[in-house]
């Protein structure tokens, strides 16, 4: 096992709960990492203000007007900041070829349900929990996966099980999975930093 210092970049569209938890773990010394850059596609994303308050470089890169230019700018910004591993924390845009090419097997996302069964296009947020409840399965949970060109398609590197309780609704299940996600992301990054968990490639 070879320990390593993680040089992290964060992408978020809104609040970035997992990103906040990871940054808190870095600041408290529980995670051997540095937060190099926070980027949002949304100028009013609360995570941008959070990053600035914690002296982390923050940037808004809008993606809708010119996705190709935004992809190139994002790739350049991450590399210039020295980012080696990208954490998606509620980033509601598909990554482009420049970022995915520069960070092949180095972009991690968290999905709020079992993969591959409850993943793919349109399977996000409450939709995932509704599908889990409708399927009548006994377990749900969160998956951390390596991001590639397809939604929820890359290899899953860690799973956190959340049992489906009798009488659960999509809302109650969502609340428990959402509460578990930030700590699970921190734990997974700790395992990577400590050399216990290897990324593909």
Looking at the annotation, which residues are catalytic? 111
H helix count then E strand count, the chain: 6, 7
Neighbours of 116 (CB within 10 A): 12
Q: Are 61 and 73 in contact (CB under 8 A)?
A: yes
Q: What's the start-to-end Cα distance of the chain, in Å?
A: 16
Longest dimension (CA), the chain: 50
Contacts of 181 (CB under 8 A, 6+ apart): 17, 18, 110, 112, 142, 160
* Crossing angle of helices 46-53 and 17-27, rounded to 10°: 10
């Amino acid at each position: 096992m070879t320990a390593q210092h993680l040089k992290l970049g964060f992408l978020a569209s809104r609040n970035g709960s997992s990103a906040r938890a990871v940054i808190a773990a870095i600041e408290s010394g529980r995670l051997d990492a540095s937060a190099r850059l926070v980027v949002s596609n949304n100028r009013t994303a609360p995570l941008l203000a959070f990053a600035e308050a914690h002296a982390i470089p923050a940037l808004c890169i809008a993606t809708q007007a010119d996705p190709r230019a935004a992809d190139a700018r994002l790739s350049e910004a991450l590399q210039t900041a020295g980012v080696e591993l990208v954490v998606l924390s509620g980033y509601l845009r598909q990554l482009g070829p420049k970022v995915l090419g520069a960070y092949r097997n180095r972009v991690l996302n968290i999905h709020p349900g079992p993969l591959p069964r409850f993943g793919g296009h349109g399977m996000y947020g409450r939709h995932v929990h509704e599908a889990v409840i409708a399927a009548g399965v006994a377990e749900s949970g969160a998956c951390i996966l390596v991001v590639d060109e397809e939604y929820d398609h890359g290899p899953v590197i860690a799973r956190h099980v959340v049992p489906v309780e009798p009488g659960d609704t999509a809302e109650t299940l969502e609340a428990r999975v959402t509460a578990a996600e930030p700590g699970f992301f921190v734990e997974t990054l700790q395992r990577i930093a400590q050399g216990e968990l290897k990324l593909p490639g």
